[in-house]
């Protein structure tokens, strides 16, 4: 079995997943993907790679459009998802979801976390550590202390706001948010892609 990993992924941040795949005899090839961080190399994907290699041409992202129907995008923690959905990266993330939807690609967003979050509903109880720090600074300002320390421009996103935004994106774009612990991510990616391994 061969996985393709998007070249946009920082190599050093996915060691646990890569060690798991290596232990299972799974080859990981880095390539530019139009949607997601991981896909399975199927016949169409292999055909693109072989034709481009045969002509000595670099593969472009759009060469893979129409070659796969499932992709997994991984997030290192909940804070990264906050940035993608409620922060500056929202437009880029939304466009990727729309590209997946328009091309019939089921996009799973796998959120690794150690916060005990296993589904979107858990986010209603999730306490954003940045929100706690913001409230602490705001309180110190209100009683006349820490005047030299600036209050962040925007109040950090609460778990409730994040949960509602994720639900909206699932409904509107068909993207599905899945949660797991970091050490489970390698197997979870394969499960979501439909890759079968013998354990």
Q: Is the pLDDT of residue 182 over 80?
A: yes
Comparing 8-22, 80-94, 146-160, 184-198, which segment has the lowest mean pLDDT?
A: 146-160
Is 130 among the domain residues? Answer: no
- Give the CATH number of the domain where residue 75 resides: 3.40.50.10130
Is 145 among the domain residues? Answer: no
DSSP string for residues in 129-192: HHHHHHHHHHHHHHTT--TTSPPPSSPPPPHHHHHHHHHHHHHHH--EEEEE-GGGHHHHHHHH
Q: Is the pLDDT of residue 149 over 90?
A: no
The dihedral built from the CA positions of residue 82, 83, 87 and 93, taken in this order, carries a sign that is negative
pLDDT of residue 50: 95
**pLDDT tens readout for residues 19-57:** 999 999 999 999 999 999 999 999 999 999 999 999 999
Chain centroid to CA 155: 23
Q: Which domain holds residue 71?
A: 2-123+162-193
Report the chain's mean pLDDT, rounded to a whole number.
87
Q: What is the rounded CA–CA span in Å between residue 158 and residue 67?
A: 38
Q: Is the pLDDT of residue 88 over 90?
A: no
The count of structural domains within the chain is 1
pLDDT of residue 87: 84
Top pLDDT among 14 and 191 is at 191
């Amino acid at each position: 079995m061969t996985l393709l990993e998007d070249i946009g992924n920082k190599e050093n941040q996915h060691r646990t997943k890569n060690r798991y795949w290596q232990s299972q005899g799974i080859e990981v090839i880095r390539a530019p993907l139009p949607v997601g961080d991981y896909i399975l190399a199927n016949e169409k994907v292999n055909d693109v790679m072989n034709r481009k290699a045969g002509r000595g041409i670099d593969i472009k992202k759009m060469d893979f459009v129409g070659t796969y129907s499932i992709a997994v995008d991984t997030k290192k923690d909940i804070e990264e998802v906050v940035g993608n959905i409620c922060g500056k990266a929202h437009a880029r993330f939304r466009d990727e979801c729309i590209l997946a939807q328009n091309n019939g690609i089921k996009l799973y967003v796998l959120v690794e976390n150690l916060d005990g979050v296993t589904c979107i509903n858990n986010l209603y109880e999730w306490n954003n550590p940045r929100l706690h720090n913001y409230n602490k600074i705001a309180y110190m300002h209100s009683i006349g202390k820490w005047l030299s320390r600036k209050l962040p421009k925007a109040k950090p996103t609460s778990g409730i706001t994040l949960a509602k935004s994720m639900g909206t994106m699932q409904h509107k774009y068909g993207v599905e948010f899945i949660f797991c612990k970091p050490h489970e991510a390698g197997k979870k990616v394969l499960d979501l892609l439909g890759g079968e391994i013998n354990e």
